[in-house]
Amino acid sequence: MPLNSQIISLLDQGMVLDITLEDLPFRVYVAQRPADVEQVAGLVPAERFEGDGNVHVAAIHDADDAAEQIQDVLFNLSPGDTVVFLCTGPQAYANVLAEFGQGADSPLIS
């Protein structure tokens, strides 16, 4: 699935991306955080929960296959949905950003 991504804003240990997948826009939050659903409320503004779309959350660990997990999540999206990837380590964070076309020169990858 070809996709384009653009950095919208930086978070503490993360970033917000707008992605376009098959001409449909989505908002993606990628953060290096514990795999705890309570982390989501601190990342995603309330209006994203109150809007028409759904909020999807996935935890990615350093040893996980980030590409496969991301494809699984993206396959199930509907227009207007929001996706949150909680990356539990620096390698998982780097892998997820790379899948969205944000490489080693992107902010916050160390």
The pLDDT tens digits of the residues spanning 39-81 come to: 898 899 888 888 788 999 999 998 788 999 999 999 989 888 9
Specify if 106 maps to a domain.
no
Specify if 104 maps to a domain.
no
What's the pLDDT band for 110 if we cut at 50, 70, 90? very low
Say if pTM beats, i.e. exceeds, 0.85.
yes
Specify if 60 maps to a domain.
yes
The count of domains in the chain is 1
What's the pLDDT band for 1 if we cut at 50, 70, 90? low
What is the Cα–Cα distance from 27 to 49, expressed in whole angstroms?
Answer: 12
Specify if 16 maps to a domain.
yes
- Mean pLDDT for 26-36 is 93
pLDDT of residue 48: 84
Specify if 31 maps to a domain.
yes
What is the Cα–Cα distance from 79 to 52, expressed in whole angstroms?
Answer: 9
Domain of residue 90 covers: 3-99
Specify if 109 maps to a domain.
no
What's the pLDDT band for 5 if we cut at 50, 70, 90? very high
